[in-house]
Amino acid sequence: MRVITGKAKGIKLRTLEGLDVRPTTDRVKEGMFSAIQFEIAGARVLDLFAGSGQLGIEALSRGAKQTVFVDQSAESLNIVKENLKKTSLIDFAEVHQKSAEQFLRLCPDNSFDLIFLDPPYRNQILEKILPEISRILRPDGKVIAEHEINCNLPEEISDLLLQKNYFYGKITVSVFLKKSNAKKGIET
């Protein structure tokens, strides 16, 4: 696992070991960032369910102003901090050890331009938290959610509208916009 492009291009990132760990592949990460390439520069980013922090670090490497990393696992956050130091991006990061629900309850409205969601699979977490995610997303922001292909998210959740699905084998990446900013028509 490495940073694909930007200031930290090519730096290898550490990840947790174990069967429950499912790092985003370079192919999926490249697809995610192609979909939002013009929104990254100067953005305030949330990497919820941060794991190793690779999505938030990629955003920082590509010019995001700040990334907030949230994970409930202390072990994951230690790896996030190690990866931030290794990439020299720690000055542009905040790291919080909280569950997604705890963090979202305390987060002010309209806080983020880009929100990455890569929760544990098979728990229906996305359906539960997307309504709250809508509240903290800025009006012109985007939510990028990675999930298993058989997780069919609705086209509308709270104030969010599905813009497009991208398919990568057993993985789907869904991009959501605020309804007030969404273009008509959904692409798949």
- What string of DSSP letters covers 149-178? TT----SEETTEEEEEEEEETTEEEEEEEE
Tokens standing for residue 54? 């690779």
- What is the mean predicted confidence (pLDDT) over 20-41? 83
CATH architecture of structural domain 26-181: 3-Layer(aba) Sandwich (3.40)
Count of residues making up the chain: 188
Give the pLDDT confidence score for residue 9 in this predicted structure.
93
Q: How confident is the model at residue 17 (pLDDT cuts 50, 70, 90)?
A: confident
For residue 145, which of 163, 13, 73, 4 has the smallest C-alpha distance? 163
Q: How far apart are the first and last CA of the chain?
A: 28
**How far is 75 from 78, CA to CA, in rounded Å?**
5
Give the pLDDT confidence score for residue 78 in this predicted structure.
96
Give the pLDDT confidence score for residue 21 in this predicted structure.
56
**Residues 51-61 pLDDT 10s:** 999 999 999 99
- What is the mean predicted confidence (pLDDT) over 12-24? 73
pLDDT at 184 over 50: no
pLDDT at 185 over 60: no
Give the pLDDT confidence score for residue 12 in this predicted structure.
95
Give the pLDDT confidence score for residue 188 in this predicted structure.
42
- What is the mean predicted confidence (pLDDT) over 22-49? 89
pTM of the model: 0.91
**Residues 135-174 pLDDT 10s:** 999 999 999 999 988 888 889 998 999 999 999 988 899 9
- What is the mean predicted confidence (pLDDT) over 16-24? 64
Give the pLDDT confidence score for residue 16 in this predicted structure.
81
CB-based contact 51:71 (threshold 8 Å): yes
Give the pLDDT confidence score for residue 27 in this predicted structure.
85
**How far is 48 from 23, CA to CA, in rounded Å?**
14
- What is the mean predicted confidence (pLDDT) over 2-18? 89
**Residues 64-120 pLDDT 10s:** 999 999 999 999 999 999 999 999 999 999 999 999 999 999 999 889 999 999 988
Q: What angle do CA 47, 31, 130 make, to 5 degrees?
A: 40
In 7-50, which ranges are continuous DSSP H helix? Answer: 26-35
**How far is 83 from 114, CA to CA, in rounded Å?**
20
Cα 52 to Cα 64, 87, 113, 135, 149, distances in angstroms: 18, 13, 21, 26, 22
**How far is 68 from 63, CA to CA, in rounded Å?**
14
Find tokens 């070991």 and name the residue.
17
